[in-house]
Amino acid sequence: MFASALTDLWYGFGVAFEPQNIMWCFVGVLVGNMVGVLPGMGPLATISVLLPLTFGIKPVGAILMLSGVFYGAQYGGAICSILLNLPCHPPHAVTCLDGFPLTKQGRGGAALGITVISSFVGASWGITEMIFLSPVLVQMALKFGPTEICSLMLLGLLAGSTLARGSPLKGIAMTIVGLLLGIVGTDIETGTPRFTFGIPSLFDGVELVALALGLFGIAEFMKSVNQYSEINTKYSNVTFSDMRPSRDEFRRSIPAMFRGTLIGSLCSLIPGTGPTIASFMSYAAEKKISKTPEKFGTGMIEGVACPEASTHSSVQGDFIPTMSLGIPGDAVMALILGALMIQGIVPGPQLISQHPDIFWGLVASFWIGNIILVVLNVPMIGLWVKLLMIPYKYLFPSALFFVAIGVYSTNNDMFQVGETVVIGLVGYLLLLLDFHPASILLGFVLGPRFEENFRRAMLISRGDVLVFAKHPISAFFLFMCVVLIAAQIYVRLRKPKVLASVDAAERELERGTPAAAE
């Protein structure tokens, strides 16, 4: 298996090094790094805006670009956290705790240097995990029938909604809304229009592009438009020579980054956890095993190395269930899954064998993209900091312009533009009511496939619902669903400090003030 994986990886590098593919990989990581620095943007909104662009790109280049935006944004977010005490995105809120104190001590450059190393180590482990674990999952998944696939998707939907940010009940409610939106249109089996209200434009269903741009383009930008905070850049002058850590800092960082990498990779295998929970869990674990836990928060280099390695390991590992099983772990992965479907490619166990250029090209591009990010970040720190000086009043109208152009260009249909506006307004109201619409996308993407496999299982079993409990693998997934729900009830009743810290950081981040500074 090892030799086969290396052969496939070599083939993947051949695909990734094709001129057009390496160009799209570079564009993706460059844009990702840029939006990682800018507060209020984020990979989800950016991928939504770029989604219409993928219509005119070949599938390999499109997925390489969108994936590059996702993991590239993690590098940019660390810069603001360390130099400016500004956690632009939730996974990096915990990095502020020790990153900014190091900056005030004149060691911000060393913290950035350790961040780059930790990020590369964590990402490399996640990529290696994907190389060897994905084919194993595929071999197992090929034995799955509709019953097992349906139960696995139910587990993915539950995990994605209950482990997401905010209230688990609100997450489940948003997932159900996504499932209902996913069945709008003409039923493929019976030809009956469902939830179309007699509107011919809805016979083909709600467009993924309109839903994504409405929820994460218009709604998110409307929520952020009035947020503005003064940015103190007096510590942001970092030169290339400043980024070299001392021998003692490097020695202390090595075990921390490997522990963070391990925690992040484990979190990535649980759908719905994502890099935010991974970074907070790794920081809490590192503080607990430290001989000097009281020094955390005053400028410990381990407090930077561990969560950053965990974040990148988790982000890369998120691609494992998405690409090998077709089960997205979070909203970004659901969006990338939707981009594959737009290209006519069905993600799942057959992806590696039917489209090896996409899978292995993507794996190889991860290493190429992470090396590009290291090269981009080291000499261009000053440029990324200056991007923060761009007033949001200029970013907001330009983003809305691209949203409108992108939606219209998909089918040259003004109805979809109106559809996007309505979804955006509803999404904005949901955000004001503290309903995070990310779970809607998860339900929308998985809903039609869940319904298809459920119907197939019912036909094969002649309507016997107990068939899901009779099949051992399906019964195991249902048991995991029960365990997940029970664990959520227990966790929420006890309310551990880690989850409380995650919720507090995200609330402060949404208000535009860094919780990590407190």
pLDDT over threshold 60, residue 137: yes
Gap between the Cα atoms of 152 and 138, Å rounded: 14
Residue with the larger pLDDT of the pair 347 and 147: 147
Q: What is the mean pLDDT of the chain?
A: 79
Structure tokens at 256: 């921390």
Pairing of strands 185-186, 193-194: antiparallel
Structure tokens at 190: 């019976």
Q: For residue 448, what are the CA distances in angstroms to 20, 43, 322, 341?
A: 33, 25, 16, 12
Comparing 162-171, 316-325, 357-366, which segment has the lowest mean pLDDT?
162-171
Average pLDDT over residues 2-7: 73
Confidence of residue 80 (pLDDT cuts 50, 70, 90): confident
Average pLDDT over residues 348-372: 85
Task: Give the containing element (helix H, strand E) for 461.
Answer: helix 438-461
With beta carbons less than 8 A apart as the criterion, state whether 277 and 164 touch: no
Q: Is the dihedral of CA 446, 426, 170, 166 positive or negative?
A: positive
* Residue 346, CB-side half-sphere exposure with 13 Å CA sphere: 5
Strand partners, 193: 186
Confidence of residue 23 (pLDDT cuts 50, 70, 90): very high
With beta carbons less than 8 A apart as the criterion, state whether 314 and 126 touch: yes
Structure tokens at 189: 């089996």
Residue with the larger pLDDT of the pair 391 and 257: 257
Average pLDDT over residues 226-255: 71
pLDDT over threshold 70, residue 17: yes
Query: What does the pLDDT read at residue 517?
Result: 35
Gap between the Cα atoms of 147 and 203, Å rounded: 29
Query: What does the pLDDT read at residue 26?
Result: 92
Query: What does the pLDDT read at residue 378?
Result: 67
Report pTM.
Answer: 0.78
pLDDT digits (tens, 9 = 90+) for 493-507: 765 555 555 555 555
pLDDT over threshold 60, residue 362: yes
Average pLDDT over residues 361-368: 88
Secondary structure string (H, E, C) spanning 213-252: HHHHHHHHHHHHCCCCCCCCCCCCCCCCHHHCCCHHHHHH
pLDDT digits (tens, 9 = 90+) for 156-189: 888 777 655 667 788 888 888 988 988 888 887 7
Confidence of residue 516 (pLDDT cuts 50, 70, 90): very low
Using only C-alpha atoms, the chain has a radius of gyration, in whole angstroms, of 22
With beta carbons less than 8 A apart as the criterion, state whether 25 and 365 touch: yes
pLDDT over threshold 70, residue 308: yes
pLDDT over threshold 60, residue 235: no
End-to-end C-alpha distance for the chain, whole angstroms: 50
Gap between the Cα atoms of 255 and 301, Å rounded: 11
Confidence of residue 512 (pLDDT cuts 50, 70, 90): very low
Average pLDDT over residues 334-339: 83
Structure tokens at 128: 């290696």
User: Which has the closest alpha carbon to 280: 315, 318, 308, 320?
Assistant: 308
pLDDT digits (tens, 9 = 90+) for 434-472: 887 878 888 888 888 888 888 888 888 888 888 888 888
